[in-house]
Every structure is written in structure tokens, then in C-alpha cells.
Copies of this chain bind each other. A is one copy, B any other.
Amino acid sequence: MIISPDGEFGQGGQMLRRIAVLTSGGDSPGMNACIRAVSRAAAHNGLECLGAVGGFSGLVKGEFVPLPPRSVSNIIQRGGTILKAGRCPEFLQKRARASAARNLSRMGIGGLVAIGGDGTFRGVHALCREHGVQAVSVPGTIDNDIPFTDSIGFDTAVNTAMQSIDKIKDTSISHGLPFFVEVMGRRSGAIALESAIASGAEAALLPEVLHDMKDVCRTIREGRAAGKASLIVVVAEGDETGGARRAGEVAKLATGIDYRVCVLGHTQRGGSPTVRDRVLATRLGCRAVEELMRGTKDSMAGEENGVATLVPLARILRKRKEVRIDDLGLLRTMSE
């Protein structure tokens, strides 16, 4: 689908004629909105835009599709990614990255926008350092664990989680049974914490905090004694208790109170993105292109607390975003 390579590689903004965009890692709602923004901003700036198919694997194999502005019509509202995503273990090897750089050069692609999480950023960083590829990354992950920025997809994921917990609460109230609800987050408790506060849950178990299951058991016991309408414990999948099933079992052993478990799973990844995620994706996609024009290298275009950020990947990869730990206290106050 792609015509003869032209343009020159690694010359900074002045020679930029063609860019590529890719989505990588787990998909997150808003990736399509971001692809659309990159395509449209590219056209606005007189650049041609291609999409690498299937994340890094598209770079390695040289699989690109043209992304003119009309090709991204009517995708802003769709979950998933039209470019496909996925992990590419092969990209951990130097050889694969060399092949990717070669393909970019051969295609005349002078700039790359990579949308994904920290695994993606690691790959892009290596590509930049080793081959001088000009790339700007954009944070797209439901885990919201990238520092110095909000991540595209988190707002949608946490709303999906909350809506599911709202439903579960109906049954918890009707039957007087505690529920242990497992949400996504291997290393991050962001979804667990916010969805717990928002759904009026009694407790949240996060990977970032060593929990005392005694506290949870007391909450359940006292909640039941106080005639609380519902009893919900939200558990991040990566919590050290081992997930909702284990936590529920431990609590039952200690309290004798029966429980139910619900693992929300992949429902949290998909779905039509919220306003917040679509607007963020649009802003960051547009800004990534502008940064490429400006010659920016090896950095992430983000937005934290409403303020645009631009941070070298190297700095991002040394840190993790922290959850608002004082919200745990808020949760406790609210569930008394």
C-alpha cells in the first residue's frame, strides 16, 4: 500500500514529510481517538501519516497502512485500536529493533508516535538511543501508572469498573452478602481505589499498600452489625492478598460470613471512551505531532493536572506514578 520511500531520516523537523503511529501493549479506550488525532494533525501540518500494524511487530516486519485524514473518520468513539496492539517479545532483541529502524528509514518515515504503557516506552526508548529514531510517546494504559501524566484509557476503565460495581451492589443489598470485586491493576491500585470511592465500597486492597486483612474483616463484621445496606471490597488483581477470591476466603475463615466474588476482567479494557479520555487522546495526539515537527526526541507528551508535560523517556522509566494514598483514609471515613 505504500509507495516508494522518500524523505530523509533523523534530520529533525525541517525535513519531516512522513510519520508513523503505532499502538502497543494492552489496548486502552481512547487509542483510536489518539490515532485519529495524529492522522489529522499530520495532515494539518502537511505531513503524510502511516500506521504500523500490530505495534512494534509492524515496525519489525515493515507492515504499514496509509492513514489519511478521512480514513480515521468515525473512530473517535470506538474502543480498541484499529491498528491492533499486542506485546512483541521479539522487540526485546537488538536485531528486531535494528530491523524496525531499517524499515522506518526505508519507508522515509522521519518521526514516530508510539501510544502505550511503560513496556511500550521501554521499546521506544531503546529504538531512539540505538538508532536515533525520532519518536514521541503518548501514555495509553488503563493502569494510569505512568508518572508526570494522566493516561488515556484510565477514566473509561474506572467508570466501567464503577458501573459494574453499581450493579453488583444491587445484589449485595438485596441479599445482604459481602462481595469481593477484583479489578485490573497488576502493579497499580489506581482503578481499585477510585472505583471503590466512587461506588461507595467499604474497602480497597491495593498493591501499593500492605493491608492488614484484620482491618477488612473488622469492616465486614462491623458493617454487618451496623446493618449496612451493602458490603463491597474492591481488590486490585495485583494486591499481595492474591486477588478477590483469596481475600474473600481469608475473610470468611476469620468472620464466618459468606461472600461472593466477581472478577471484572477484560470488560475494563474496551468500550466507548469517556469525554476525558477522548479529549486527552486528541490533545496528546495532536501535541505529539507538533513535537515531532519541533524536533523533539525520545520524550513523552503528557498532561498532568490539566497542564501539558513533556518529559524525556529516560526520566519516566525510572519512576512510577503514585496513587493518592490519602484517598484510602477518605474511603475509610466514608464507610464508617
Contact = CB atoms under 8 A, between A and B. Distances in A.
Contacts of A229: 70, 73-74
B282 A197 contact: yes
Given A330-B286, A336-B69, A275 B158 contact: yes
Q: So how many copies of this chain end up in the complex?
A: 4
A14 interface: no
Contacts of A84: 173-176
A231 to B, nearest CB: 11
B275 A167 contact: no
A171 interface: yes
A275 B195 contact: yes
Contacts of A266: 167-168, 171, 179, 260, 262
Give the interface centre of A85, A279, A307, A336 by most chain B CB atoms within 10 Å.
A279
Kindly name the residue among A171, A261, A265 whose own CB sees the greatest number of chain B CB atoms within 10 A.
A171
A241 interface: no
Contacts of A264: 267
A201 to B, nearest CB: 10
Nearest to A287: B330
A18 interface: no
Interface in A155-175: 155, 158-160, 162, 164, 166-171, 173-175
Contacts of A31: 174
A309 to B, nearest CB: 12
B305 A76 contact: no
B73 A40 contact: no
B275 A162 contact: yes
A79 B37 contact: no
A279 B194 contact: yes
A94 to B, nearest CB: 25
Interface string A299-327: 00000111100000000000000000001
Given A175-B27, A260-B266, A263-B263, A159 B73 contact: no
A40 B307 CA distance: 33
Given A74-B230, A76-B199, A333-B40, A174 B81 contact: yes
Nearest to A195: B275
Given A200-B76, A305-B306, A336 B159 contact: no
A65 interface: no
A77 interface: yes
A173 B36 CA distance: 17
Interface string A199-235: 1100000000000000000000000001111100000
Given A79-B167, A158-B275, A267-B262, A86 B282 contact: no
Interface of A: 23, 26-27, 29, 31, 36-37, 40-41, 43-44, 69-70, 73-74, 76-81, 84-86, 155, 158-160, 162, 164, 166-171, 173-176, 179, 194-195, 197-200, 226-230, 260-272, 274-276, 278-279, 282-283, 286, 304-307, 327, 330, 333-336
30 contacts: A23-B174, A40-B336, A44-B333, A69-B336, A70-B226, A70-B227, A73-B230, A74-B173, A74-B229, A74-B230, A76-B199, A79-B170, A84-B173, A84-B175, A84-B176, A85-B174, A155-B275, A155-B276, A162-B275, A166-B271, A167-B271, A168-B267, A169-B270, A198-B275, A199-B278, A262-B263, A262-B266, A286-B330, A286-B334, A304-B306
